[in-house]
């Protein structure tokens, strides 16, 4: 089987998720890496560590939820079977460009992680997701993880970028989310969701959560960089908000940042890292 981007439904557009997130990702697919991509130098290490943590053997299958542009997926060795699914056709097109498939055992599928996942029960040795599971209902994720997990044991692995709380990016994002909340919008923030997912998995019998930092790097960022990256999106905080509200928030933030950081163009050094958290799904 060659590499294919399939659409789960027969209609021209995929089933909608609860929120509008997929449309936002569709819009930003071509510029996603430039705006929010992972540092290219570390993606191979992330893939290697996922395979190591997942104790993958030949012919084992890895299921990736929300692979985006395939920055990590491209490094999974072709001796493993790989299924990646994402709601955004735009993101899938980007990852398809990147994933070659000599062995014919990789597939990319357009599907909504808030619906039934496109994999038969009991098939996955590893269920992996980077920076995407917080966008999906945690009880549904836990149910699907236990359904697709291989009967002789599997691992759920999820990755995210960690930032110091007092870095420019964290403080700008916190202020932006605070302003969204004051106007009655709840932005999507990873930190709030994943503990609920861990609880939901542990209630079903998953073992204790473990942690592995894969890479860390230094960044030098200015408040203006955060503002500019948000200005090129139609949404804010991962959700769709009216243009007027969005503009108001960004203008307010600009004034706040100017005062708080002593100018919008001052660069501040900060450490960022990529960490994997994982839970073992016991033998059924």
Ligand X SMILES: C[S@@+](CC[C@H](N)C(=O)[O-])C[C@H]1O[C@@H](n2cnc3c(N)ncnc32)[C@H](O)[C@@H]1O
Contact residues: ligand X, CB under 6 A: 17, 21-22, 25, 38, 66-68, 71, 86-88, 91, 112-114, 130-132, 135-136
Closest CB to ligand X among residues 107, 261: 107
Strand partners, 277: 158, 211
Least distance CB 62 / ligand X (angstroms)? 13
Phi, psi of 53, rounded to the nearest 5 degrees: -60, -40
Least distance CB 17 / ligand X (angstroms)? 4
Least distance CB 3 / ligand X (angstroms)? 17
Nearest residue to ligand X on Cβ basis: 68
In this structure, the number of other CB atoms found within 10 A of the CB of residue 265 comes to 10
Let me know if 3 is exposed, middle or buried by CB neighbors in 10 A (0-12, 13-18, 19+).
middle
Closest CB to ligand X among residues 60, 144: 144
Least distance CB 28 / ligand X (angstroms)? 9
CB contact at 8 A, 176 and 253: yes
Helix (H, G, I), strand (E, B) or coil at 281: strand
Closest CB to ligand X among residues 114, 261: 114
In this structure, the number of other CB atoms found within 10 A of the CB of residue 217 comes to 13
Closest CB to ligand X among residues 86, 175: 86
Closest CB to ligand X among residues 135, 257: 135
Closest CB to ligand X among residues 128, 261: 128
Least distance CB 93 / ligand X (angstroms)? 11
Q: List the one residue out of 107, 159, 117 whose CA is nearest residue 137.
A: 117
Least distance CB 129 / ligand X (angstroms)? 7
Beta carbons within 8 Å of 113's beta carbon, 6+ residues apart:
17, 65, 66, 85, 87, 132, 135, 136, 140, 141, 144
């Amino acid at each position: 089987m060659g590499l294919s981007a399939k659409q789960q439904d027969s209609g021209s557009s995929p089933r909608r998720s609860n929120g509008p997130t997929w449309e936002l990702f569709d819009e930003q697919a071509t510029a996603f890496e430039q705006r929010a991509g992972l540092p290219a130098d570390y993606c191979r290490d992330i893939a290697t560590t996922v395979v190591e943590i997942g104790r993958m053997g030949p012919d084992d299958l890895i299921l990736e939820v929300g692979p985006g542009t395939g920055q990590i997926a491209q490094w999974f060795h072709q001796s493993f079977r790989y299924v990646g699914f994402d709601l955004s056709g735009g993101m899938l097109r980007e990852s398809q460009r990147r994933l070659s498939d000599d062995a014919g055992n990789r597939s990319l599928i357009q599907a909504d992680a808030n619906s039934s996942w496109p994999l038969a029960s009991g098939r996955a040795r590893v269920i992996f997701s980077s920076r995407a599971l917080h966008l999906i209902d945690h009880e549904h994720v836990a149910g699907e993880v236990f359904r697709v997990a291989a009967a002789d044991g599997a691992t759920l692995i999820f990755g995210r970028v960690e930032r110091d709380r007092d870095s420019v990016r964290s403080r700008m994002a916190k202020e932006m989310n605070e302003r969204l909340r004051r106007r009655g919008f709840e932005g999507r923030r990873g930190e709030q969701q994943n503990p609920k997912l861990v609880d939901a998995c542990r209630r079903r019998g998953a073992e204790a959560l473990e942690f592995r930092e894969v890479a860390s790097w230094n960044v030098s960022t200015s408040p203006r960089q955060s503002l500019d990256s948000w200005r090129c999106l139609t949404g804010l905080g991962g959700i769709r908000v009216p243009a007027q509200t969005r503009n108001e928030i960004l203008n307010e933030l600009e004034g706040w940042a100017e005062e708080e950081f002593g100018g919008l163009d001052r660069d501040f050094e900060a450490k960022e890292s990529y960490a994997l958290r994982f839970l073992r799904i016991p033998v059924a």
